[in-house]
């Protein structure tokens, strides 16, 4: 999975969780919570959707790795590759 595909996957999950958010101008290097109206429950929903849709477990200690689209891609891409 490419970095861009991984970022799109995260954006798709966010669009389902927060359908009113405008995700067209999300900057990949800026914290998602600084750009969007996501609270801690929304973040947990993202983690749960990663597990449910893709079988990827994100331990609580790694939540900080999911702060921005870039960091999500850096963290998740190897996990997708190891599943292939």
> Residue 21's pLDDT is what?
92
C-alpha span between 69 and 7 (Å, rounded): 6
User: Going residue by residue through the chain (84 aa), what tens digit of pLDDT does each one get?
Assistant: 899 999 999 999 999 999 999 999 999 999 999 999 999 999 999 999 999 999 999 999 999 999 999 999 999 999 988 876
> Residue 1's pLDDT is what?
84
> Residue 83's pLDDT is what?
74
Residue 50's contacts (CB-CB under 8 Å, 6 or more residues apart) are 13, 56, 58, 76
CATH code for the part of the protein at 3-83: 1.10.1200.10
The answer to whether 13 touches 50, Cβ cutoff 8 Å, is: yes
pTM score: 0.90
Question: Quick one: tokens of 71?
Answer: 């960091």
Name the strand (E) or helix (H) holding 47.
helix 40-54
């Amino acid at each position: 999975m490419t970095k861009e595909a991984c970022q799109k996957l995260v954006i798709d999950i966010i669009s389902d969780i927060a359908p009113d958010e405008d995700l067209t101008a999300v900057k990949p290097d800026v914290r998602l919570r600084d750009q969007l109206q996501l609270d801690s429950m929304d973040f947990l929903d993202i983690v749960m959707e990663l597990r449910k849709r893709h079988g990827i477990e994100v331990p609580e200690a790694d939540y900080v790795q999911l702060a921005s689209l870039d960091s999500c891609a850096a963290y998740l891409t190897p996990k997708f590759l190891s599943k292939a």
